[in-house]
Amino acid sequence: MRAWILALLCLLGAGSIARAQTCTVTASGPAFGTADVLLNTAIDTSATITMSCTGGPANGTLRLCLNIGYPAPATAGGNRIAASGANQLSFQLYSDAARSVIWGSWKVAGGGAGVQADLPTNASGATGTVTRTLYARIPAGQTTKPAGTYTRTFPTTSTHYSVQTAGAASCATLTAGTRRITGLSMSATVPSKCAVSNASLDFGNNAALTSLVDASTTIGVTCTPTLPYQIALGQGLGSGVTNPAARKMTKAAETITYGLYRDTARSLPWGWTNGTNTLGGTGTGNTVAVPVYGRVPAQVTPTPGTYTDTVTITVTY
């Protein structure tokens, strides 16, 4: 009778030790949507890591060690890489909102640490649903990236986690962990577009308009690589302007005639009809300084004062 009681106690003890934890860890994104790299500023977004477990210790804690690796062609600790065909776009994943701590993997040497998440369990050993934010950034300095949709799906070998009872070991000591974090994939769409900067054209102070007065300036144009474009300069604010070489600067009802040109000789008027008197080019992703040449022809000098005009710059692509 005593032997039977001892055997029963041993079976109960073995059943308690063998209790297994079942966890689910999923990610949503990160999805950047439209990523305007021509702005040459960092582009930020975030994703949510959702975790839930059952089978843990009653009213205890389960520790999840969350690892995100560096799928090729990225290298450990460097920027991650998304691809659109043969084109590549750098991005990075972080564990903090300031985007100063890379979310890496304890399994990858030199790749930065993973993230430890301690999940409290209830009386049934379940954790409920717990979330962590994954912060993502496309760094500046990528204006030359061609248009396209860039993606990166993290394979099984790059997103994994281990689970244990909290206090058994710190995540930093664990290099195992084969459970998959599902759904982690980056996407960003780089649009085809152009950006243009404003400029001022100053003809200076002139006592009399008895001879030609020339001046020049530059406008900055940045367009997506391989994108054809045309730059048009509008009529300005003067009424009845039909000739790009005879725009009007005004002061009340008085005017000064002037023209804008595409060449230093002022022989090619710069107007607003694409393919006729506009300036064309092909984008490289870099900002191009486009010269604009102005000329005030000899004419009757109006009364002294400041004469101005505003011309709209239109880039068609």
pLDDT digits (tens, 9 = 90+) for 198-211: 999 999 999 999 99
Query: Is residue 152 located within the same domain as residue 227?
Result: no
Separation CA 165–CA 105 (nearest Å): 20
| Cβ contact 241:247 at 8 Å | yes
Query: Is residue 239 located within the same domain as residue 305?
Result: yes
Question: Picking from 22-31, 157-166, 197-206, 286-295, which range would have the lowest pLDDT averaged per residue?
Answer: 157-166
For 77, the domain range is 21-190
Query: Is residue 112 located within the same domain as residue 254?
Result: no
Question: Using one digit for the tens of pLDDT, what is the confidence trace for 253-311?
Answer: 999 999 999 999 999 999 999 999 999 999 999 999 999 999 999 999 999 999 999 99
> Is the pLDDT assigned to residue 224 strictly greater than 90?
yes
Query: Is residue 161 located within the same domain as residue 250?
Result: no
Cα 157 to its chain centre, rounded Å, is 26
In the chain, the number of structural domains is 2
Give domain status of residue 9, yes or no: no
Residue whose tokens read 């008895």: 210
> Is the pLDDT assigned to residue 6 strictly greater than 80?
no
Query: Is residue 120 located within the same domain as residue 207?
Result: no
Give domain status of residue 131, yes or no: yes
pLDDT score recorded for residue 158: 86
Burial class (CB in 10 A: 0-12, 13-18, 19+), 207: exposed
> Is the pLDDT assigned to residue 13 strictly greater than 50?
no
Q: How many helices (H) and strands (E) does the chain have?
A: 1, 19
pLDDT score recorded for residue 103: 96
Query: Is residue 221 located within the same domain as residue 145?
Result: no
Give domain status of residue 305, yes or no: yes
Q: Extract the tokens encoding 194.
A: 């152009």
Last residue of a domain, one of 190, 212, 239: 190
Give domain status of residue 16, yes or no: no
Query: Which amino acid, one-letter code, is at 238?
Result: G
Proportion of the chain above pLDDT 90, given as a percent = 83
pLDDT score recorded for residue 1: 32
What mean pLDDT value characterizes the chain? 91
Last residue of a domain, one of 166, 190, 214: 190
Rounded to an integer, the average pLDDT of 179-195 is: 96
pLDDT score recorded for residue 175: 61
Question: Using one digit for the tens of pLDDT, what is the confidence trace for 74-117?
Answer: 999 899 999 999 999 999 999 999 999 999 998 888 888 999 99
Query: Is residue 53 located within the same domain as residue 114?
Result: yes
Query: Is residue 222 located within the same domain as residue 137?
Result: no
> Is the pLDDT assigned to residue 232 strictly greater than 90?
yes
Give domain status of residue 78, yes or no: yes
Query: Is residue 91 located within the same domain as residue 38?
Result: yes
